[in-house]
Amino acid sequence: MHGSAALTRWLLDNQLVDEITLLVCPVVVGQGTRLFPDNGPDLALDLVESRAFPKGIALQVYRPAGRPEYATGGVDPNRLS
């Protein structure tokens, strides 16, 4: 789907996405609707394909992989001196 961030977020929220293809262009835009909002459920993605083009555009294809697993960032008290 091209051009509807609101519909994309709704499809992701309702687990109706099989694959996400992102074209990343080397341009910084400081306004507009975010594809992935600050709030909402976390989603792990598996990278299926990645290509870079001569002008700096990157194509990335992802498939949803369920809930993400996060590493713990704690300090091991047994390793303190």
pLDDT at 4 over 60: yes
List C-alpha distances in Å: 37 to 5, 8, 12, 49, 55: 10, 11, 11, 24, 28
Q: Which residues on neighbouring strands pair with residue 61, listed in sequence order?
A: 21, 49
Q: Which two tokens stand for residue 50?
A: 């990645």
**Neighbour count for residue 66 (Cβ, 10 Å):** 11
CA distance 27 to 57: 9
Whether pLDDT at 62 is above 90? yes
Output the six-digit token pair for 60: 């990335």
- Model confidence over 11-39: pLDDT tens digits? 888 889 899 998 888 888 878 777 776 77
Best CA proximity match to 21, nearest among 45, 54, 53: 45
pTM to 2 decimals? 0.69
